[in-house]
């Protein structure tokens, strides 16, 4: 897709990289405004960008600001998103026209980030974990827009699997139904965000950035539109014990149900509650897995270029 859309604004560094064929990695902004408290959110965002640079690629953090779809943010813009926090709208695909119309700021979810990344011509995106099918979805029909975006948008998403607060089995079934390949990076098991294992397998295991890049190029050159999940487990040294995470997750889910929390507010509430119940251990794990994903995404982008 051409990156000359009137609503799209690409930062000078990202624009120069795209024009000259340098590797670029897209990064989401919901993690800044809704995923972590200030100043951890800003510090983490800047560390993630630096990790991308250290591994040979140009970072493009994505958000909606001043009526524009922004691919590449300044430090001041990242600081603004971090300080404003939940005063910034959490934006998925459906919300984009409203934010563009009213000029209000928006932090992009996985789905919205993928949409803007593809518009800008960026093929690789690093995040923490993708959304998925929520537990109890048979009654609520609560399924993240991330999954449908993966089915339609040709961007590869490097993540630590799907968040453990979800129904991982149904999430994998949904991805299979919609033709989205799930690659396990140096693993045959789908990671569960904070933990390296989930009990569910991946479609294919690949062990090097070059292998992943070759498969991505082949998929899109063959005319197979749509995204790819690259499941990259949290490093073993930073993996929390599974049992306390599971106990905290179940308690957080019960609390969310009791309070009637639903829709786009579910994930931020659950992640915040899990952080509280684990004494901050889950937050540190979240930071480490995002950095790990940024490193791998940059290496894949380098091979793609």
Whether 168 maps to a domain, the answer reads: yes
pLDDT < 70 regions, the chain: 1-4, 137-138, 140, 243, 263-264, 267, 278-280
**Tokens matching residue 33:** 């405004």
Token couple for 219: 């998929």
> Which of 178, 167, 186, 198 lies closest to 230 in space, CA to CA?
186
* Amino acid 12: pLDDT: 97
pLDDT of residue 43: 95
Domain total in the chain: 1
Within-domain flag for 204: yes
In this prediction, residue 1 carries a pLDDT of: 42
Is residue 51 one of the residues assigned to a domain?
A: yes
Is residue 255 included in any domain, yes or no? Answer: no
Residue with token string 């827009």: 145
Assigned domain for 251 exists:
no
5-21: pLDDT as tens digits: 899 999 999 999 999 99
52, 27 Cβ separation under 8 angstroms: yes
Sign of the CA dihedral with 140 first, then 225, 60, and 99 last:
negative
| CATH number of the structural domain spanning residue 19 | 3.40.1790.10
Fill in the DSSP letter of residue 21: T
pLDDT of 115: 98
Q: Is residue 259 part of a domain?
A: no
Beta bridge partners, 206, equal 185
**Is residue 15 assigned to a domain?**
yes
Q: Which domain holds residue 296?
A: 8-240+290-304
Using the structure block, give the residue that is written with the tokens 């149900």.
257
**Which positions ≥6 away from 124 have C-beta within 8 Å?**
23, 24, 25, 26, 57, 155, 156, 158, 297, 300, 301, 304
Number of H helices, E strands in the chain: 13, 11
Q: Please list the active-site residues.
A: 28, 163
In a domain, 90, yes or no: yes
């Amino acid at each position: 897709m051409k990156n000359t859309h009137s609503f799209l604004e690409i930062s000078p560094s990202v624009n120069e990289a795209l024009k000259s064929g340098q590797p670029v990695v897209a990064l989401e902004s919901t993690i800044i405004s809704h995923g972590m408290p200030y100043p951890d959110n800003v510090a983490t965002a800047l560390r993630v960008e630096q990790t991308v640079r250290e591994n040979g690629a140009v970072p493009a953090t994505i958000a909606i600001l001043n009526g524009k779809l922004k691919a590449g943010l300044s430090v001041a813009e990242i600081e603004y998103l971090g300080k404003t926090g939940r005063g910034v709208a959490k934006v998925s695909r459906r919300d984009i026209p409203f934010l563009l119309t009213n000029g209000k700021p928006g932090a992009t979810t996985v789905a919205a980030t993928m949409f803007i990344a593809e518009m800008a011509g960026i093929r690789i995106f690093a995040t923490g974990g993708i959304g998925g099918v929520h537990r109890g979805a048979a009654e609520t029909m609560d399924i993240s827009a991330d999954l449908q975006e993966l089915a339609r948008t040709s961007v590869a998403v490097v993540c630590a699997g799907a968040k453990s607060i979800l129904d991982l089995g149904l999430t994998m079934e949904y991805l299979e139904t919609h033709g989205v390949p799930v690659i396990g990076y140096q693993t045959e098991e789908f990671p569960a965000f904070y933990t390296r294992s989930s009990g569910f397998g991946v479609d294919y295991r690949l062990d090097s950035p070059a292998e992943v890049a070759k498969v991505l190029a082949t998929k899109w050159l063959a005319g197979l539109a749509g995204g790819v999940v690259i499941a990259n487990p949290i490093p073993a040294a930073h993996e929390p014990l599974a049992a306390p995470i599971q106990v905290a997750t179940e308690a957080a889910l019960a609390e969310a149900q009791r309070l009637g929390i639903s829709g786009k507010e579910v994930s931020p509430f659950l992640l915040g509650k899990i952080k509280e119940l684990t004494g901050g251990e889950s937050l540190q794990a979240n930071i480490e897995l995002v950095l790990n994903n940024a490193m791998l995404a940059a290496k894949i982008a380098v091979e793609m270029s």
